[in-house]
Amino acid sequence: MGTQQSNQNLNNQSYDGKTIALISYLTVIGWVIAFVMHGNNKTSLGTFHLRQSAFLMVLGIGIYALQFIFIFIPYIGWALSILLGILGIGLFILWILGLIAAISGEEKPLPLFGSKIQQLLSAIV
């Protein structure tokens, strides 16, 4: 009987926004899991970080897709591929900043375009 009751407590447990925010930065699968968890318990912190991490992931996928295409073009493509690689390092730094803000439980927008992301993705999450 004790095991059955503990299983019910796990099923009824609602996740706080900090957990959702943290999980949203952990790969695309983590984002999907956080999105599903967020559907049960909507918090402003979870919404904020779901938007930020979704933008970072889409931007990262786009950068690396372009880099893959440019690598096959001699000289100019190679130079562009190197520049996109440097941009990818900047994107990684933004990801770390977002992850630190999620761990801290803060709604701190990413530098440069964080507030625009919230407006742009307000219809999605």
Mean pLDDT per 10-residue segment, the chain (125 residues)? 44 67 93 89 89 94 93 91 94 95 91 87 80
Summarize the chain as % helix, strand, coil (round to 5).
75, 0, 25
State the pLDDT at residue 6: 43
> Residue 45 belongs to what domain range?
12-120
pLDDT at 31: 93
Instruction: Write down the pTM of the prediction.
Output: 0.80
Asked whether 83 and 71 are in contact (CB, 8 A), the reply is no
Amino acid 113: pLDDT: 84
Q: Which residues of 22-42 are buried (b: 16+ CB within 10 A; e: fewer)?
A: bbbbeeeeebeebbebbeeee
Tell me how far apart the 2 most distant CA atoms of the chain are, in Å: 69
Evaluate whether residue 4 is within a structural domain: no
Is 125 part of any domain? Answer: no
- Domains in the chain, number: 1
SS3 state at 74: coil
**What is the predicted pLDDT for the residue at 10?**
42
Q: Is residue 46 part of a domain?
A: yes
